[in-house]
Every structure is written in structure tokens, then in C-alpha cells.
Amino acid sequence: MKAELIEQVRIAPGTTPGLPDRDPGARLGLGGKKDGHRYRDTLLTELADLQALLWAEDRRAVLLVLQGMDTAGKDGTIRRIFSGVNPQGVRVAGFKAPSDNELDHDYLWRVHRVVPRRGELGIFNRSHYEDVAVVRVLDLVEEARWRARFRHIREFERLLHDEGTTVLKVFLHISRDEQRERLQARIDDPAKRWKFNHDDIDMRARWDDFTAAYEEAIAETSSDWASWYVVPADRKWVRDAVIAELLVSTLRGMDLQRPAAPDDLEGLVIP
């Protein structure tokens, strides 16, 4: 286990992430691409076994929150990291613009209803952090409201933690140049054009505003019970290795236990 790898990306409570000064292309000591792939693949084999134990134990849950700029790699992370796990014990939830029904409830209502059940490994593709970043940048609610949400979110995540859900929050950190290349690739590849939206250009123009919004949100909500991890994501193989390590090291540390078998199986032969 490379504990130092995780410490490089963890944002300690009470500190700021310093997003403008972090290198989105950092290798974090992982060596080259082939080394990173081998390391990731070894971890993913173990992840499948640990996720099966989590499901069998059925006492606790893990929630991985994936947040980041457009094209940061949330979908790709989910495809690569969770391809080998048992889908029966995994729950993926995505958060787009809220529906009318969702807007008729408090902003955490749609989030709380899809948190993982005991035994599940849950993944959020975007999350409740849209409600302190996007609403801020687009001026959808007044400042007093989105600022109050920092406290709401800290306590919401404390509730999840206290009730047995380990919350891991990952900000996929890409550079503006890398985002441009990924957006252009969507336009140039007919098979990917469905992913492109002209709003992507408008949102890209607000890069600095989003950076400031995430900088403050991460600083305000990285806690002892729900830490943030800023993962360099320009190199997809680095991103995948770090997230695989984060999940595996977390699950190892939970000391998951396989349920006891019935005590009358010795010598039993199925007729």
C-alpha cells in the first residue's frame, strides 16, 4: 500500500487545496504509464474481492463522490475502476440540473435518497457540491443561501459517517489546456459528438470562477469524517491508480468480516 500516495492528494481539514498551484499532470511518483497500469490492475483485482466482502458483511457502506470541471473524467473513472466489481453491490447516481419535483424539496433531498445502502459501494457522478459551486457561479441563489450550505453539507456527511457510510470525496483536477483538448476531441469524433453541448463553451469561459468556487467548497467541507482528495487528472492512468489505491486502502482499513457460516455444515452432502 502506498500511503504516501494518498497523503499527497488529501486535503487536511482546515487547509485550502491550492488548486491553481497544483499540477494536474503530476505523476505522484508512480513512474511511467505502464507502471501505473500494472499498479492499477493489481489494485482492481483486490478491489473486486474487498467489494464482495463489503456486500457479504452488509453492515457498512462506502460512498465515492466524483466532482470536477467538465471533461474531468468522471465517466471514464467509473468505467475503468468499477468494471470488475459485482454490479449487484454497486450503486451509481448522477446529478444533472434538478427536476421540478426535486426543486420542490430541499436541495439535499435528491441526494439523501440515493446514498448507498449497507453493503453497497456507491458512486456519485457529480453531487450535492453542484449546489454550492454551480449555483454560486451562475448566481442561481443568493450568497447567504449557498454559504449556509457548507454547514449543512458538513453535518449531512457527518450523519452518513455516524450511521456507517465512509465518504470519500474526489476532485478530479484537470488543466484548462487539457479540457480544451477533450472538448475538441468530442467535436472531431462523430461517435462522441452527442456528448458535446454548446453550454460547455459558456461554462469553460467561467473557468476562474469555478476554480474559486471549488477552492472554497473543498476548504470548507474537508473534514475528519469526509475528507477531500484532489487527484491530478490530466493523465488518466495516474487518476485511475490513485483512485484505485484510495478505495482499496479504505476498504482494507475497514477490517471487513465474512458472515459466519451455519455450524452444522461439516459432513453435509447434498443429495
Average confidence (pLDDT) over 155-177: 98
Q: Is residue 241's pLDDT more than 80?
A: yes
Average confidence (pLDDT) over 242-259: 96
Contact predicate 90/121, CB 8 Å: yes
Distance between CA atoms of residues 227 and 223, nearest Å = 5
CATH of 3-253, one of 3.40.50.11890, 3.40.50.720, 3.40.50.970, 3.40.50.300: 3.40.50.300
Average confidence (pLDDT) over 25-35: 94
Ranges assigned E (strand) in 69-133: 90-94, 121-125
Distance between CA atoms of residues 220 and 84, nearest Å = 34
21-30, 57-66, 168-177, 192-201: segment of lowest average pLDDT = 192-201
Model confidence at 198, in pLDDT bands (50, 70, 90)? confident
Distance between CA atoms of residues 17 and 73, nearest Å = 19
Report the chain's mean pLDDT, rounded to a whole number.
Answer: 95
Distance between CA atoms of residues 7 and 3, nearest Å = 6
Per-residue pLDDT at 1: 43
Per-residue pLDDT at 3: 67
3-state class of 234 per DSSP? Answer: coil
Q: Nearest 5 degrees, angle CA 51-CA 119-CA 101? A: 115
For the chain, the 3-state helix, strand and coil shares in percent, each to the nearest 5, are 50, 15, 35
Q: Which residues of 89-98 are buried (b: 16+ CB within 10 A; e: fewer)?
A: bbbbbebeee
Domain residue ranges of the chain, discontinuous segments joined by +: 3-253
Q: Is residue 230's pLDDT more than 50?
A: yes
Pairing type for strands 121-125 and 10-11 reads unpaired
Distance between CA atoms of residues 68 and 169, nearest Å = 11
Per-residue pLDDT at 38: 95
For 97-123, what is each residue's pLDDT tens digit?
A: 999 999 999 999 999 999 999 999 999
**CA 144 distance to own-chain centroid:** 27
Average confidence (pLDDT) over 200-215: 96
Q: Is residue 202's pLDDT more than 50?
A: yes
Model confidence at 260, in pLDDT bands (50, 70, 90)? confident
Contact predicate 74/172, CB 8 Å: yes
